[in-house]
Amino acid sequence: MYYELRTYTLEPLKMADWLALYQSHALEVQSEHLGNLVGFFTSEFGDVNQVVHIWGYSSLDERMARRAAMAADPRWAEFSRRNRELGAVVRLHSRLMRPTGFSPLQ
């Protein structure tokens, strides 16, 4: 199993607007195409103004196929357009991780 941890750093004061946009225009399409949403979080301390979400994949090939299908979906294009217009995202950091043998997530 592979886990993709995606961290979005947002402009201060735009967190609520971005979360509302994501929930109304991206959550359904991402859930449909990417499948296994492990968790969705906001930061409270340390690096603030961040949204972190984790998606699980059985293989790297599965991840590539699922993301390609999502990229071809017009609903994703609409979210992307609105996301650019909002101008809330400052930075995106994506990390692929594999669990250790003793991790509760496998």
Q: What topology does CATH give the domain 2-97?
A: Alpha-Beta Plaits (3.30.70)
Taking the domains of the chain in order of start, what are their residue ranges? 2-97
Which segments within the chain are labelled E, that is strand?
2-10, 36-42, 50-57, 89-97
The 10s digit of each residue's pLDDT in 11-26 is 989 999 999 999 999 9
d(CA 72, CA 88): 23
The 10s digit of each residue's pLDDT in 78-92 is 999 999 999 999 999
Q: Are strands 36-42 and 89-97 parallel, antiparallel or unpaired?
A: unpaired
The 10s digit of each residue's pLDDT in 61-73 is 999 999 999 999 9
State the pTM of this model: 0.90
End-to-end CA, the chain: 6
